[in-house]
Amino acid sequence: MIAMRLRAFFIAGAISAALASASFAKSSKGKTSAKPASARPAAAATPAPKPTPAPSDWQVIKVGPRDYLSADNIAKFYGLLGNVDSTGKSVVLNDGRNQLQITLNSREAVVNGVRNWLCFPVIAQDGKFLVSRIDLAKTIEPQLRPQMLQQPGRVQTIVLDPGHGGFDKGALSAFGSEKEYALDVARRLRSLLVAKGFKVVMTRENDVFLPLDLRARIANATRDSIFVSLHFNATSNREATGFEIFSLTPRGAPSTADDALALHFLNMQAGSAVDAESFELSTAVYHSIVGHLPEFDRGIKRARFAVLRQTKIPAILVEGGFLTETGDSKHVADPAWRTKYAEAICTGIENYRNLAEKKQRPMLVADYRAQAAGEITVVDLAQPPSSLEPSPAPAVVPVSNTKQDPNQEP
Ligand SMILES: [Zn+2]
């Protein structure tokens, strides 16, 4: 461990060298200062998990109005080793279990094998990659140390919220409508959850219209519960495809679909008392979905959708694919696929319950793929070992992140 920590010290130098010829972010440069003893890498409104890092472990760097932590500081704190890619634009921090990839001037990150969207772009200053403090506290720390989640509530009841209904059909494909698919997945998921010992409340059981605030009120009337809103996607870009998942945008940060530099989003819109739980729930469910199904990983995102904003229990919204894309719309129309999708969400919810109630770390996408490879071993012993390799992780390529009007409800 000492060797690892020592090696991590050298990342700053490696990053400096790699950045020597790279273009730097055009952020206004502020003075670098150590914070007073009370400083933590957390948003001001919400206390960081305990035990917190000793203040001396973090050197907070102020750039313009915002606090940042350097990549080498993050590596050192978590005991990660760092590598800068040949372009000098990306850093991968790794300890064999946790992995964090960040890219200069980008909000796109890869955390433990799945795409994430940071609230603010990674910037560079004095040869160091800098990650905003709110991203460290609200997105990175919860994934590198999920077991630090503070006093999560029990998870006995799952509130399933099939999107749309009645005259509101939601997205449409050549085969059907979002309102039908969402309700169908909710019904499949309900059976699976009940079999696992959960109680299930549905915001709608039939094809009826339900206002968003009523959905939230139904959720808020339950105890020891979590809220899972089920949707399918649509966009004018007919090639957009894949899964994405949302939890509430942290206080003082832009949503994923917002321009990070649009200052009017940086007001003090309330977060939620259960932000951390909601985010852990979104990562647990998303890893299971991406780990079980091969569709494209669009990532873990943030939004201020009404059902996320108004619910007072841990809440997520899952987008199960694009009804405007041929491939996605075909498999969403397949009942067998919808069963697999419901099973993946169920497993993610179980993983969240194990985290909340037993401090058991949720499985990651790599765990699910390894597990799937193991199942092949059991089923077909005649196969040569080479065929038992887990399928490779999807290539991490930048995708357009502007699929819709940021203020539009899904
Ligand atoms: Zn929808």
Counting DSSP H helices and E strands in the chain, the numbers are 12, 15
Whether pTM > 0.95 for this model: the answer is no
CA of 369 to the centre of ligand 1 (A): 29
Per DSSP, helices labelled H in 293-334 are 306-309, 326-332
Please give the pLDDT value at position 311: 96
pLDDT at 195: 98
Say how many Å lie between the CA of residue 169 and the centre of ligand 1: 9
- Which segments of 126-206 does DSSP mark as H helices, in order? 133-135, 141-144, 178-195
Q: How far is the CA of 198 from the centre of ligand 1 (A)?
A: 25
- What is the mean pLDDT of the segment spanning 146-174? 96
CA–centroid distance, residue 36 to ligand 1 (Å): 45
pLDDT in tens, 255-293: 888 875 555 555 556 677 899 999 999 999 999 999 999
Taking the C-alpha atoms of residue 214 and residue 315, their distance in angstroms, rounded to an integer, is 15
Whole-number mean pLDDT of the chain? Answer: 82
What separation in Å is there between the alpha carbon of 305 and the centre of ligand 1?
11
Write the class of the CATH domain 2-25+40-144. alpha beta
157-358: which CATH number, 3.40.630.40, 3.30.2310.20, 3.40.1190.20, 2.40.30.10? Answer: 3.40.630.40
> For residue 182, how far is its CA from the centre of ligand 1 (angstroms)?
8
- Sorting pLDDT into bands at 50, 70 and 90, what band is 409? confident
Q: Which pLDDT score, from 0 to 100, does residue 37 have?
A: 35
pLDDT (tens digit per residue) in 285-344 = 999 999 999 999 999 999 999 999 999 999 999 999 999 999 999 999 999 999 999 999
Cα(34) to centroid(ligand 1), Å: 45
Ligand 1 centroid vs 171 CA: distance in angstroms? 7
Distance from Cα 363 to the centre of ligand 1, integer Å: 27
Does the pLDDT of residue 392 top 50, yes or no? no
Instruction: Report the 10 Å Cβ neighbour count for 79.
Output: 15
Judged against a pLDDT cut of 90, whether residue 89 lies above it is answered with: yes
Expressed in angstroms and rounded, the spacing between residue 322 Cα and the centre of ligand 1 is 10
108 has a pLDDT exceeding 70: yes
pLDDT on residue 45: 41
Cα-to-centroid distance, 68 and ligand 1 (Å): 35
CA atoms within 13 A on the CB side of 65: 7
pLDDT reading at 100 higher than 80? yes
- Which residues fall within 8 angstroms of residue 245, CB to CB, at 6 or more apart? 282, 285, 286, 289, 299, 300, 301, 316, 317, 318, 319
Least confident of 133-137, 252-256, 310-314, 393-397: 393-397
Question: Ligand 1: distance of its center to the CA of 139 in Å?
Answer: 24
Q: What is the reported pLDDT for 197?
A: 97
Q: What pLDDT shows up at residue 272?
A: 79
Neighbours of ion ligand 1 (CB under 5 A): 163, 170, 231, 410
Q: What is the pLDDT of residues 17-58, one digit of tens each?
A: 333 333 323 333 333 333 333 334 444 344 444 445 555 689
Ranked by mean pLDDT, the top range of 34-38, 167-171, 403-407 is 167-171
pLDDT band, residue 84 (cuts 50/70/90): confident
What per-residue confidence (pLDDT) applies to 403? 45
Please list, in sequence order, all residues whose beta carbon lies within 8 angstroms of the beta carbon of residue 70, skipping any fewer than 6 positions away.
12, 59, 61, 128, 129, 130, 131
Q: Which residue has the tokens 């007919």?
A: 238
pLDDT, residue 57, reads 87
Residue ranges of the domains in the chain?
2-25+40-144, 157-358
Please state the rounded mean pLDDT for residues 133-151: 94
**Cα distance from N-terminal residue to C-terminal residue, the chain:** 46
